[in-house]
């Protein structure tokens, strides 16, 4: 189509597509029975999958975050960190559970999440 703006290859490679999501309850259950990594802010559950890329599931409970704004903000931050991390190229299913903590800076939560992603990435590299 003339005049249509197309995404550059680098921009399209950072999209969070439907194929990168864990969408079904069975997928979440399978992951929640796998290995875990945790810190004060997040808990990561992960298992190997048969695909060429990682899949992500997010749990941000209404009980801990009663407003949709806070839940969606956490989900947005997690998806963005996942898109920018090399972990997304590993054959893993990852579920991130947001823990209820005192209100802190978003930057501190993001650093905590990226630290967990780094730990998981190095742990999977040694397997």
Q: Is 111 helix (H, G, I), strand (E, B) or coil?
A: helix
CATH 3.30.230.10 fits 19-126, yes or no: yes
Question: Between 60 and 3, where is the model more confident?
Answer: 60
Predicted pLDDT of residue 127: 57
- pLDDT band at residue 14 under the 50/70/90 scheme: low
Burial of 127 (0-12, 13-18, 19+ CB in 10 A): exposed
Q: Is the pTM of this model over 0.85?
A: no
Mean pLDDT to the nearest integer, 68-96: 87
Mean pLDDT to the nearest integer, 37-55: 89
Write out the H or E segment, with its range, that includes residue 45: strand 42-48
Tell me how far apart the alpha carbons of residues 88 and 81 are, in angstroms, rounded to a whole number: 10
Predicted pLDDT of residue 97: 93
Percent of the chain with pLDDT over 90: 16
Predicted pLDDT of residue 110: 85
Domain edges within the chain: 19-126
């Amino acid at each position: 189509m003339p005049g249509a703006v197309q995404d550059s290859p680098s921009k399209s490679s950072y999209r969070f597509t439907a194929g990168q999501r864990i969408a079904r309850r069975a997928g979440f259950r399978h992951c929640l029975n796998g290995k875990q990594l945790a810190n004060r802010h997040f808990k990561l559950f992960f298992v190997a999958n048969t695909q060429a890329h990682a899949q992500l599931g997010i749990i941000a409970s209404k009980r801990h975050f009663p407003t949709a704004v806070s839940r969606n903000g956490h989900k947005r931050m997690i998806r963005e960190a996942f898109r920018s991390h090399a972990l997304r190229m590993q054959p893993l299913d990852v579920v991130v559970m947001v823990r209820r903590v005192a209100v802190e800076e978003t930057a501190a939560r993001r650093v905590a999440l990226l630290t967990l992603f780094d730990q998981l990435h190095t742990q999977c590299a040694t397997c």
